[in-house]
Amino acid sequence: MLSTKLHTAINDQINAELWSAYLYLSMSMDAEAKGYKGVANWFYVQWLEEQDHAHILMNYLNSRDAKVTLKPIEKVDTEWHSVLEMFQQTLKHEKVVTGLINNLAAIAAEDRDFASSNMLVWFVNEQVEEEESARDMIFAAESVEGDKYGMYQLDKELATRVYTQASPLASEAE
């Protein structure tokens, strides 16, 4: 049985993941409106991934006979000055999410809830990947800043990114 503290924290994380999805969808729509179809695709894939993260946590609470409580999604920004600014905000946001995930892991460890600790390992590893990806995108955007052809090439490259369902959900699809 989950402790009340961990149950509440996981519910909060579900809502944070849904907010993250909404943020990335907003970034996708802004990039699309500015003609950056590849950047829009990159953020659209992020939107799908964040929804997966929420789904994994919802499934986990349900498997532990704990109620999922959804809250209203807070407002997100709807416009950015540049692609670089989008990726900088992405890294800043992912660092906040890393802190939230680490907090969940700390609560699970404090509770000696080994099942929750085990489930959260995937999220801890995912956050390392999310931060690295955002840093890579910042480097790429900085590399082409002011170079229209370079931005065109980067945009084309980002258009090739494809969504891959998060591994904890893969068994559900079978």
pLDDT in tens, 136-169: 999 999 999 999 999 999 999 999 999 998 888 8
pLDDT at 74 > cutoff 90: yes
Total domains in the chain come to 1
How much is the mean pLDDT over the chain?
Answer: 96
Amino acid code (one letter) for 139: F
* 32-65 tens-digit pLDDT: 999 999 999 999 999 999 999 999 999 999 999 9
Residue 89 lies in a domain: yes
Range of the domain at 134: 4-166
Neighbours of 54 (CB within 10 A): 20
Helix (H, G, I), strand (E, B) or coil at 16: helix
> 131 in a domain, yes or no?
yes
Residue 169: closest CA among 115, 122, 102 = 122
Residue 149's SS3 state is helix
| pLDDT at 116 (0 to 100) | 97
Task: Examine residue 171 and state whether it is found in any structural domain, yes or no.
Answer: no
Predicted pLDDT of residue 1? 86
Q: Is residue 172 part of a domain?
A: no
Amino acid identity, residue 109? A
Cβ proximity of 9 and 107 under 8 Å: yes
* Both tokens assigned to 110: 């404090």
For tokens 């840093």, the residue is 135
112: left (phi over 0), alpha (psi -120 to 50) or beta: left
